[in-house]
A and B are shown apart, each in its own frame.
Chain A
Amino acid sequence: MKRLFVLFLFILSAIAVHAQERPAVPEKSEKKEPEETRINALEEQVRALAEQVALLRGELKALRDAKSVEPRSADHILLVSSHVEPGTLPTPALIPAAAPEPLPAQIAQTQTYGGATSNAKLLNPDISLIGDFIGTAGRNTISPSRSLELHESEVGMQAIIDPYARADAFISFGETGVNVEEGYVTFTALPAGLLLKVGKMRAEFGKVNTIHNHALPFIDRPLVTNNLVGGEDGIDDAGISLSRFLPAPKNWFFQGTAQVYRGDSSDVFTANRRQDVSAVGHLRIYRDLGESTNIDLGASYARGHNTAGVGTTFNPDNFLTNLYGADATLRWKPLRRAIYHSFLFRTELFWSARDQLSAPTGGFFQTQHAFGLYSDAEYRVNRRWTVGGRFDRSGRATNASLTDTGFSSILTYWPSEFSQIRGQYRYGHLWDVLNDRFTNANEFLFQFLFVMGAHGAHPF
Chain B
Amino acid sequence: MLFGEIMRNANVCSRFIALIAALTLLCATCPPPAHGESKLKIMTATTDLAALAQEVGGDKVEVESVARGYQDPHFVEAKPSFLLKLQHADLLIVVGLELEIGWLPPLITQSTNPKIQVGAPGYFDASRYARILEIPTGVVTRAEGDVHPLGNPHYWLDPENGLRIAKGIQNKLSEMRPNDAAYFAQRYDNFEQRIKQADEKWLAEMKPYAGRKIVTYHRSWPNFAEHFHLDVVGYVEPRPGIPPSPQHTVELIGLMKRDGVKVIAVEPYFDLKTPNAVARDTGAKVVVLMPSVGGEKETIDYFKLFDYDIAKLKQAFDATK
Contact = CB atoms under 8 A, between A and B. Distances in A.
Interface of A: 67-69, 71, 77-90, 92-93, 95-96, 99-103, 106-107, 109, 111, 113-117, 160, 163-164, 166, 186, 188-190, 192-195, 240, 242, 244-247, 251, 253, 255-256, 258, 260, 275-277, 279, 281, 284, 286-288, 291, 294, 296, 303, 317-318, 320, 322, 331, 333, 335-340, 353, 355, 367, 383-384, 416-418, 454, 456-460
Given A84-B211, A99-B188, A245 B20 contact: no
A383 B30 CA distance: 44
Taking residues whose C-beta sits less than 8 angstroms from the other chain, chain B's interface range is 35 or more
A457 B134 contact: no
A79 B222 contact: yes
A117 B272 CA distance: 35
A193 B147 contact: no
A77 B138 contact: yes
Contacts of A194: 24, 27, 112
Contacts of A245: 32, 83-84, 87, 112
B72 interface: yes
B164 A89 contact: no
Contacts of B84: 245, 253
Given A99-B192, A194-B24, A188 B132 contact: no
A417 B241 contact: yes
Interface stretch (B34-42, B174-182, B224-232, B307-315): B224-232
Interface of B: 1, 3-4, 7-8, 11-13, 16-17, 19-20, 23-24, 27-28, 30-33, 68, 70-72, 75, 77-81, 83-84, 87, 96-98, 101-106, 108-112, 114, 117-120, 125, 127-140, 142, 144-147, 149-150, 152, 159-160, 163-164, 167-168, 188, 192, 195-196, 199, 203, 207, 210-212, 219, 221-222, 225-227, 229-233, 241-243, 268-269, 271
16 contacts: A71-B137, A77-B144, A78-B219, A117-B149, A192-B28, A193-B27, A247-B33, A255-B80, A281-B19, A287-B81, A296-B80, A337-B271, A338-B71, A417-B241, A457-B101, A460-B106
B225 A81 contact: yes
Interface-centre pick from A88, A102, A255, A284 (highest chain B CB count, 10 A): A102
B1 A81 contact: no
Contact of B125 (A82, A111, A251): A111
A284 B112 contact: no
User: For the complex, would chain A's binding face be called helix, strand, loop or mixed by DSSP majority?
Assistant: loop
Given A78-B134, A192-B28, A336-B71, A260 B112 contact: no
Contacts of A336: 70-71, 268-269
B175 to A, nearest CB: 13
A188 B195 contact: no
A95 B30 contact: no
A406 to B, nearest CB: 30
Contact of B134 (A79, A117, A255): A79
Interface-centre pick from B30, B33, B159 (highest chain A CB count, 10 A): B30
A82 B229 contact: yes
Nearest to B82: A460
A291 B68 CA distance: 10
B210 A89 contact: yes
A166 B120 CA distance: 13
A186 B27 contact: no
Contacts of B203: 92
A338 B211 contact: no
Nearest to B160: A95
A84 B232 CA distance: 10
A92 B228 CA distance: 9
A145 B195 CA distance: 65
Contacts of A333: 77
B135 to A, nearest CB: 8
Nearest to A186: B109
A417 B192 contact: no
Contacts of A189: 114, 117, 120
B164 A103 contact: yes
B211 A456 contact: no
A109 B83 CA distance: 30
A82 B226 contact: yes
B292 to A, nearest CB: 12
A86 B211 CA distance: 5
B26 to A, nearest CB: 8
A106 B4 contact: no
A253 B207 CA distance: 51
Contacts of B160: 93, 95-96, 100
Interface-centre pick from A113, A279, A331 (highest chain B CB count, 10 A): A113
B30 A246 contact: yes
Given A188-B112, A456-B105, A457-B78, A88 B211 contact: yes
